[in-house]
């Protein structure tokens, strides 16, 4: 069977070609004679043709909806929604690819103060405990095989196959970095992909786009293992607030909401008036000067 053309219409019925032929024939007759009789016949054929098209579309859409399953309902929603805006930006004040690229880079990566140049000295921490294979397995269990890899193109699925075959390999590679407190530049490389923010009425501004940074997967494994160790250590030493729920295992937004609701109702029972303040700091992480941090 031949493959259907991308321009083919699934709602097209055998009656429509006949109505189209009648409509075109009546239109040609009117253009040739320019009399009122052919004009009336042309308008009647036009109404019949386009009315049949609307009925065919409605019937086809109704039949399609009757055969939907829970797994294909989102495809129907995508078809029913309006056509998405093009992903390639077109800024009103930039008309060249170089200008668009410069506008995106200056917005998504604003200029930051140059870091203080200090000589690189690596000191070895002798009391640092080595990473265990269980910690690496726990970090890999939180990683998805479908996540896009970084510039080295090594996905999490590769590391999940390598780690069981040689349990000491990944801990030995990462423990050396932790022991000297150094993150090499080879693990800091990343692929950057610009995506449009959904729901925007216009995409003529760099603020309508976001950047997705694809880091090296080995660097992410190191981050997950280190964060797990620091989380347990901070909890053990009492460095975290009892109501801290973010980035902690076993806690989520539900716990934060329950805590806030409990505090509000407790104060209301005491006769106090309660108000909440939520702050959304835009671009705070990208504009912090590392040399000013404690």
Distance CA 200, CA 193 (A): 19
Tell me 198's DSSP state: T
- Residue pair 124/180 in contact (Cβ under 8 Å)? The answer is yes
Length of the chain: 294
Sign of CA dihedral 5, 10, 14, 15: negative
Kindly tell me the burial class for residue 131, based on how many C-beta atoms sit within 10 Å of its own C-beta (0-12, 13-18, 19 or more): buried
User: Can you give the pLDDT of all 294 residues of the chain as single tens digits?
Assistant: 666 665 678 888 889 999 999 999 999 999 888 888 889 999 999 999 999 999 999 999 899 888 888 777 878 877 777 655 455 566 767 777 778 777 877 777 777 677 666 677 788 888 878 899 999 999 999 899 888 899 989 999 999 999 999 999 999 999 989 888 888 888 988 888 888 887 777 777 788 888 888 999 999 999 999 888 888 888 888 888 888 887 777 788 889 899 999 999 999 999 999 998 887 776 666 666 666 665
The verdict on pTM exceeding 0.85 is no
Could you tell me the two tokens for 226?
Answer: 């280190």
Beta-carbon contacts of 99 under 8 Å, excluding residues fewer than 6 positions away, are 91, 93
Could you tell me the two tokens for 168?
Answer: 């000491």
């Amino acid at each position: 069977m031949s493959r259907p053309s991308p321009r083919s219409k699934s709602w097209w019925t055998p009656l429509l070609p006949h109505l189209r032929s009648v409509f075109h024939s009546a239109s040609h007759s009117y253009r040739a004679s320019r009399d009122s009789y052919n004009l009336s016949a042309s308008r009647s054929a036009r109404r019949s043709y386009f009315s049949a098209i609307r009925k065919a579309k409605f019937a086809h859409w109704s039949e399609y909806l009757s055969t939907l399953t829970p797994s294909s309902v989102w495809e129907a929603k995508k078809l029913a929604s309006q056509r998405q805006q093009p992903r390639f930006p077109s800024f009103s004040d930039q008309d060249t690819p170089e200008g668009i690229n410069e506008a995106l880079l200056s917005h998504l990566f604003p200029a930051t103060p140059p870091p203080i140049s200090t000589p690189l000295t690596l000191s070895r921490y002798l009391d640092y405990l080595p990473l265990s294979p269980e910690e690496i397995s726990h970090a890999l269990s939180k990683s998805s095989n479908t996540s896009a890899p970084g510039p080295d193109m090594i996905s999490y699925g590769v590391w999940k196959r390598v780690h069981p075959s040689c349990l000491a390999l990944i801990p030995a590679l990462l423990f050396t970095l932790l022991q000297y407190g150094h993150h090499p530049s080879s693990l800091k490389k990343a692929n950057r992909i610009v995506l449009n923010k959904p729901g925007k009425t216009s995409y003529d501004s760099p603020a309508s786009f976001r950047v997705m940074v694809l880091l090296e997967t080995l660097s992410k494994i190191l981050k997950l293992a280190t964060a797990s160790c620091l989380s347990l250590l901070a909890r053990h030493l009492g460095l975290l607030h009892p109501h801290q729920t973010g980035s902690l295992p076993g806690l989520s937004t539900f716990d934060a909401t329950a805590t806030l609701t409990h505090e509000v109702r407790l104060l209301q029972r005491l006769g106090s008036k309660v108000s909440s303040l939520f702050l959304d700091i835009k671009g705070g992480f990208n504009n912090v000067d590392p040399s000013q941090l404690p």
